[in-house]
Amino acid sequence: MRLKVTFYTKDDENYEFNKYDIQGMIYSALLDAGMTEIHAGNKIRFFCFSDIFPSNILKKDFLFNFIISSPDSNIIKNIYNILDKNKIFYLSGYKFHIAEIKEFDINISKDFITGSPVVLYLDNKKNKYFSIKDDSIAFFLRRLKENAIKKFNLYYHENININHLIFDKLKFHREVALLLRKGKTSFNIIGTTWYNLHLNKLNRDEIKFYNFIMDAGIGEKNSLGFGFLNPVRNYGQ
């Protein structure tokens, strides 16, 4: 399930959109809705959100958008209820007004485009990330599959096994290095964006799995707004 938030600011502010701020706003809405378990322990949070679009450069009275997705409809409904009631939210102390907020479902496809960079660790203890410049696509696809299956089994308490790569063809867009700020600490995250992640055949018994990754996100750091997927209809036609 998905939630599209369209918003604006009435002020001229020297602020850069920061994924930690958006994640914090989402957590705050869920806590206000009574979902206190969202902060319980070191566990996976099953939601994702897109980059800000059509631009991430702050302008007064300009309409910005982002989309939150989750396989858990309660997460989406609770965020919707809080934001729709308040009509405003804050990012790092800056006030933003909601112009429109909309819940919706979306149909599965055999083609996907990334709505935010896909992040994978090479070595999480050393904080080293996959880079398409230095590392193999085979590693990327293998880790993408392992990570997706792990999250699916954890969410549904199942033991699914997929005996093929989760995507058959890839069309690369670019690699990005993002500077994130959390409090007074800054650090870089490397991710990749993709014009197309294609599946040759969508098997009936795997529809549940692909619906899950479409809403939960792929790769790591999904709840920080990485690995967001949008389905694409009639790609390349």
Hey, which residues are catalytic here?
27, 39
CA 163-164-170 angle, to 5 degrees, is 165
Q: Tokens at residue 95, please?
A: 């006030």
Task: List the 88-91 sheet strands across, edge first.
Answer: 48-49, 64-69, 2-8, 94-104, 88-91
Greatest distance between any 2 Cα atoms in the chain? 53
Q: Tokens at residue 103, please?
A: 């819940």
For 68, 82, 105, 156, 219, the CA distances from 35, given in Å and listed in that order, are: 16, 12, 22, 19, 25
